[in-house]
């Protein structure tokens, strides 16, 4: 009986592990969103500065871009995580 419980627990933990391979936790999506937005914001900052020649204006544009696109990316990742195509 104890052996059966150990085997059943092992099987249930393996299937939980397999499910984790197919989906991401929200915290991973948040980390990916932040890291991608840092790269994207530096790009926006540089392009904005090259176009305007003003650091303050470029920083304002990059700040707004950072916030809005981080949220968009997070929800984009969560939606795609629920789509089975390509998994």
Q: Which domain holds residue 75?
A: 24-87
Q: What tokens does 10 get?
A: 């092992």
Residue 3 covered by a domain: no
Residue 2 covered by a domain: no
Q: Enter the pTM of the model.
A: 0.59
Total domains, the chain:
1
Residue 50 covered by a domain: yes
Q: How many Cβ atoms from other residues are within 10 Å of residue 63's Cβ?
A: 13
Residue 34 covered by a domain: yes
Residue 65 covered by a domain: yes
Residue 12 covered by a domain: no
Q: Report yes or no: 73 and 33 within 8 Å, Cβ to Cβ.
A: yes
Give 42's pLDDT tier (boundaries 50, 70, 90).
very high
Please give the average per-residue pLDDT across 23-50, as a whole number: 90
Residue 14 covered by a domain: no
pLDDT of the residue at 17: 47
């Amino acid at each position: 009986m104890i052996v059966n419980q150990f085997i059943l627990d092992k099987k249930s933990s393996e299937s939980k592990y397999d499910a984790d391979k197919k989906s991401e936790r929200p915290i991973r999506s948040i980390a990916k969103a932040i890291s991608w937005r840092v790269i994207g914001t530096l790009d926006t900052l540089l392009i904005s500065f090259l176009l305007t020649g003003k650091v303050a204006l470029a920083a304002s544009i990059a700040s707004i871009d950072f916030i809005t696109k981080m949220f968009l990316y997070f929800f984009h990742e969560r939606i795609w995580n629920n789509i089975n195509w390509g998994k």
